[in-house]
Structure 1
Amino acid sequence: MENKEHQYQETQAIALRVREHIVRMSTAGGCFIGASLSAVDLIVFLYTEFLNVTPFNLNDPNRDYLFLSKGHDVPALYGTLTELGFLQKERLSKHLSSDDHVYWHPNTNIPGIEFHSGSLGHLPSVAMGVAMDLKICGSDNKVVCIMGDGELNEGSCWESVLVANAYGLDNLIFVIDRNHFQANMRTEDLIPLEPLIQKFESFGAAVKRINGHSYTELHDAFNAYPFQKGKLNVVIADTVRGKGLPSIEERADRWFCNFSAPEIDQLLLELYGEHTTSLTSETLIVR
């Protein structure tokens, strides 16, 4: 497995830079850093290997769609869109500024963002509607909706699963970022979610559970799409909140963070480790 992961060195490099962007956005107002870091590998993989969507085909009716239902993870999406050429890097420095739309939740004024989100449980239904329209039109587009595990406490998520299966939407994939935290609590201490595989299967979905930080497992899962004809596809991706920064990983108090400039410098040193050259909060890392 480890040898196969080496095939994804460029993907890993992109993900590392996306994590840098997230760290840099966790100051001057802050961001939801923990959950954003857990979703990086999922989002980077989907855009670089699975989805047919680029900065040049956003108006192409044959392109694919990604909906970020857990909208507070948008720094991971901003960073990915920046690395892939959808969004200019300098706009990230305007995070939370009234001079731009780079904010705490997705905004469709930013190229590549399909729908406003932030109200948890909203976008599964939106993604389902898009997938249903594509089915009616006979199109082959893929539709992916990324959801948080805590978001599954919303009844609308399960309604979407029921309806998607009722209409045979096998062009739709729900990806669950299973980092085991909901805001500042562990999900199983608040409203237990397990056994998730059996719950989704009982609603009629075809389910795969993987390590959400393994590009090999991501490849194998999404390469099997559609998992079963006529059924909603569900990928439960086990992830680590704060992935990439051991000092904040799996910490309930590192949900939303607003770090000082010196703290940002220290986190970037931690992120890059021995590969880091001289850097400050005002200077991009030399790679």
Structure 2
Amino acid sequence: MEELTFLKRKATEIRKELITMIYESGTGHTGGSLSNTDILTVLYYKIMNVDSKNPNWEDRDRYVQSKGHSVESYWAVLADKGFFPKEELQTFSKFNSRLIGHPNNKVPGVEMNTGALGHGLSIAVGMALAAKLDNKSYKVYTVMGDGEQAEGSVWEGAMAAAQYKLDNLIAIIDRNRLQITGGTEDVMGLEPLGDKWRSFGWEVVEVDGNDIEQLVTVLSDNPKVSGKPLLIVANTVKGKGISFSENQVGWHHRVPTKEEYELAIKELSEQLEVLV
């Protein structure tokens, strides 16, 4: 229980950090960063074997953020883990900053530049296959958006992962059901999403992607099935943690006003007070 409380507090702290980054920089993908915060928190503070003092350690687990636009939570986590100074977060999206609006592998801890959707899974497949060929035990994790599932390259990567029996690969879909132009089922229907991935040869598990305990459980026991890559459908709430941004498509890419920012910080601070 103490560990779960720590993870919940950390996720809330990361949300405070990312909303501050977006407010102060005047740009950012708010909704998706808030929805994937719990996933990143569990990966980096509980599951993945990484070392901020040695980010290029050969046996490290690999993480690829395929939904690269939701980078603010990623930057906040990497800074908090010590991959770069926290003070650098204040430069987010400013002139000459390396903390740009998508993951940039000039930053320690970032494996690959991402931005154009649909590429992350294929990159992760290559990394996982390399581990198998080199007899390495590291695992590869990637987070995709649900709107990203409309990209054909996602399904090419899915086929390859099953073909090569990459049970060291864990893909997570941030299933918040909203994308920039509306609901996913209106823009490009995805259901039955889990069955589609199963038909491609993957083991599929569905969880509440904003429930820390469920995420810890599903990510702590891998591979689920020997010889099969794992796909986690993480059902999340876009804009999670801030009342007025939750499930609002307009918060896909929006900067809070001064009043909204102050209210967001107040709500998140109150959530922290409960987590003692």
Same fold (TM over 0.5): yes
Structure 1 residues 274 and 203, CA gap change in structure 2 (3 angstroms): closer
156-165 vs 214-223, which moves further: 214-223
Asked if structure 2 preserves the Cα contact closer than 8 Å seen for 1:206 and 1:233, the reply is yes
Q: Give how far 1:184 is off.
A: 3.4
The Cα offsets for residues 66-106 of structure 1, whole Å up to 9 and x where unpaired, read as: 00000011101011112211121111111111131111101
Structure 1 counterpart of 2:251, from 230, 239, 254: 254
What are the residue-to-residue correspondences of 1:113-192 with 2, within 5 Å?
A: 113-192=110-189
Give 5+ residue unaligned stretches, structure 2: none
Report the TM-score when normalising by structure 2. Answer: 0.95
CA distance in 2, matches of 1:217, 1:249: 20
TM-score when normalising by structure 1? 0.91
Return the alpha-carbon distance in structure 1 between the equivalents of residues 8 and 94 of structure 2.
Answer: 30
Counterpart amino acid of residue 9 in structure 1: T
Look up the match of 1:23: 19
Task: Give the distance between the partners of 2:120 and 2:271, measured in 1 at CA.
Answer: 40
The change in CA–CA distance for 1:275 and 1:171 in structure 2 (over 3 A counts) is: closer
Native 8 Å contact 1:181 1:241 kept in 2: yes
DSSP-derived class of the 1:241 partner: coil
The within-5 A match list for 1:1-287 is 7-27=3-23, 28-273=25-270
2:239 touches 2:246 (CA, 8 Å); kept in 1?
Answer: yes
Contact 1:57 1:63 in 2 (8 A): no
Q: How many residues align?
A: 273
Q: Deviations over 1:190-223 (max 9, x none)?
A: 1111111111100000111101111221122112
> Which amino acid is the alignment partner of residue 88 of structure 2?
R
Identity %: 34
CA contact (8 A) 2:55 2:83 kept: no
CA distance in 1, matches of 2:91, 2:187: 35
Q: Is the 8 A contact 1:165 1:231 kept in 2?
A: yes
1:275 deviates by 5.6
Specify the alignment match of 1:281 in structure 2. none
How many Å separate the matches in 1 of 2:151 and 2:271? 43
For 2:187 and 2:233, the matched residues in 1 are separated by: 19
1:122-181 CA-to-partner distances (Å, cap 9, x unmatched) read 111111111111110111110001100110000100110101110111111111100111
The root-mean-square deviation of aligned C-alpha atoms, in Å, is 1.6
Alpha-carbon contact 1:205-1:233 (below 8 Å) kept: yes
